Amino acid sequence: MLSVARSRLALATQVAFFIANALGLLVGTIYNGKTPDLYENNLHHKLGWAVTWIVLAQLVVGLFRMYVIGTTASETNSDESTVFLPTGMRDMTGYHQMHPDSSASMHRYSHDSGQGTESVSSRSNSLMGTNDEKETETGRSIDHPHDDNTEGVEVRKTFGLIAADNLLIRLSKFVPRPVAKVMNVYYEAVDVLILIFGFVLILTGFITYGGVFRGRNIFNGLAHSIKGGIFFWYGLLTLGRWMGCFAEYGWAWNVRPPVGIVSSRKAKVPSAEFVESFVIFLYGSTNVFLEHLASWGGAWTAQDLEHVSISIMFFGGGLCGMLVESRKIRDLLNGSLSRWNASQDQYPYKDRWTPPTTYSFSMNPFPALIILLLGLMMSSHHQHSMVSTMVHKQWGTLFVGFALARAVTYILTYLSPPSSYLPSRPPSEIIASFCLISGGLIFIASNKDTVGAMERHDLNAMFIFTVTMGWTAFLMAWEIIVLATKGWAVRKRQPISYASRGNPA
């Protein structure tokens, strides 16, 4: 998050992370050399080395970004770096980009709780002091032989060592602008994908350590890991939406900011409910052909038909959700009144033709409905053992809890639709995210091999439930801390004052 926030601490943090990762690799290599390989040709080792090289390449690119891309990267990618920013800061950032002369009159806007009573003058003084420090710490402009490639590029001293700085400056002279753009895209992509890489590495590490998913059981293990992982990340994103992430798309239970505050590209992004419906539709349309993969060529069982029926439900439910989100479809559904609306000037009560306030916000129940039905089905889904049945009932019940919490959210937004660009943060979404995260983790653990290991060690279903609840609470706290740290880094990099409710102080 420090990297996404363009913090000066990002590079130092990446170096510290790589050093810690290198020490882990060293210890792991020594351990592997002194112990027999009990899981030959496992994915964890190969993927670990691949991710290590990817992270090392990002670290090198980060060094060159300081000298080759410099200020240009911050300017060209400021739009992309606001995905995880609170709405208030993004709005003011876009405003000052359009109105640079207005930066002298700093107002105070809240981007989270609305607390804080700093005066405008003291905040402005701190801003001037920060700019002075930035000028002294940033460095100097370099004389690049290719003026068209380095115009406006700013050099930043990375190590504080003249030799190291001069070496990187000389190397940067041989990097053309197209290559610099590719390096920047690579850096930004790894910033996002590294979260997925880390999750996959941790998951494959548990699989390798436990020695599970061998032979044909790999299909059952992959199915539970992928599907449970999707719900796990769905929960993390739901918690992120509650905190204000993706508010520029209108996904943080807020009013979507118009063009001018956000870019035209972001203004065209579909609603969060449309994306949820599309993912459900995509899962259903593709999984129809995969449910019989573990018994390919064999007879279809009643359980196979049950799984295919669930996929068809996802297929149709996701399609219904996308149709509900379509503005064109909604306009066509009002077609019976459109001819009267065209001549509304001839009739009294013109205000009766004003669209309801609920039209301004998406309230699509289909994603929650599909997950509710899935939870009910899995809660009563027969398994080969009592422990397996109870574990499936646990994550099925948690998915039902998510659906009920989302229903409460829609009731609240229907009674009082969002009217601000700032995230409304309905409390029911915290419960929804908790149910999704914990349900996804138990979903992953409900595979045949893990349940079999629990039975062999005389562990009941409550063991996996209690462990998962503790880890879920910890993960949610960690996500809140990480995003709060990113907000702190953004304020340090770009200190802007805010008022408690978006009004001038």
- CA distances, 268 to each of 257, 264, 271 (Å): 11, 6, 9
Residues 409 and 424: their CA atoms lie apart, in Å, by 11
Query: Is the alpha carbon torsion for 429, 435, 441, 447 positive or negative?
Result: negative
pLDDT at 350: 66
Residues 295 and 301: their CA atoms lie apart, in Å, by 9
Residues 145 and 335: their CA atoms lie apart, in Å, by 64
pLDDT at 69: 53
Those residues with Cβ within 8 angstroms of residue 319's Cβ, 6 or more apart along the chain or in another chain: 277, 281
Beta pairing partners, 109: 499
SS3 189: helix
Contact 309, 374 (CB under 8 A): no
Token pair for residue 166? Answer: 């001069």
Contact 273, 282 (CB under 8 A): no
Those residues with Cβ within 8 angstroms of residue 423's Cβ, 6 or more apart along the chain or in another chain: 86, 87, 241, 242, 243, 244, 247, 252, 253, 254
Residues 181 and 186: their CA atoms lie apart, in Å, by 9
Q: Which residue has the tokens 């850096």?
A: 187
Kindly tell me the number of DSSP H helices and DSSP E strands found in the chain.
19, 0
- Long-range contact set of residues 327-332: C-beta below 8 Å, sequence gap at least 24: none
Contact 142, 153 (CB under 8 A): yes
Backbone angles phi, psi at 424, to 5 degrees: -85, -20
Q: What is the pTM of this model?
A: 0.77
Residues 443 and 403: their CA atoms lie apart, in Å, by 16
Q: Report the candidate in 176, 177, 157 with the shortest Cα–Cα distance to residue 167.
A: 157
H-helix or E-strand spanning residue 33: helix 9-34
Residues 429 and 407: their CA atoms lie apart, in Å, by 10
pLDDT at 150: 40
Residues 293 and 300: their CA atoms lie apart, in Å, by 11
Mind listing the pLDDT tens digit of every residue in the chain (505 residues)?
A: 777 777 778 888 888 998 999 999 899 899 988 989 888 889 999 999 999 999 999 988 887 777 655 534 444 444 444 444 444 444 444 444 444 444 433 343 333 444 444 443 343 333 333 444 443 443 333 344 344 444 434 444 544 555 656 666 666 666 777 887 888 899 989 988 999 999 999 999 999 999 999 988 898 899 899 999 999 999 999 999 999 999 999 999 999 999 888 888 888 899 999 999 999 999 998 888 777 676 677 777 777 788 889 999 999 999 999 999 988 888 888 777 766 655 555 556 666 777 787 777 888 999 999 999 999 999 888 888 999 999 999 999 999 999 999 999 999 999 988 989 999 999 999 999 999 999 999 999 999 999 999 999 999 999 999 999 999 999 999 999 999 998 888 888 765 544 444 444 3
The b-or-e profile of 216-253 (16+ CB within 10 A means b, else e) is eeeebbebbbebbbebbbbbbbbbbbbbbbbbbbbbbb
Contact 229, 434 (CB under 8 A): no
Contact 314, 231 (CB under 8 A): no
Residues 111 and 301: their CA atoms lie apart, in Å, by 54
Q: Report the candidate in 62, 52, 77 with the shortest Cα–Cα distance to residue 10.
A: 62
Query: Is the alpha carbon torsion for 146, 149, 155, 156 positive or negative?
Result: negative
Beta pairing partners, 259: 262
Beta pairing partners, 262: 259
| Helices 366-379, 272-287: inter-axial angle, 10-degree rounding | 50
DSSP labels, 281-324: HHHHHHHTTTTTGGGTTS---HHHHHHHHHHHHHHHHHHHHHHH
pLDDT at 61: 87
Residues 366 and 318: their CA atoms lie apart, in Å, by 7
pLDDT at 503: 43
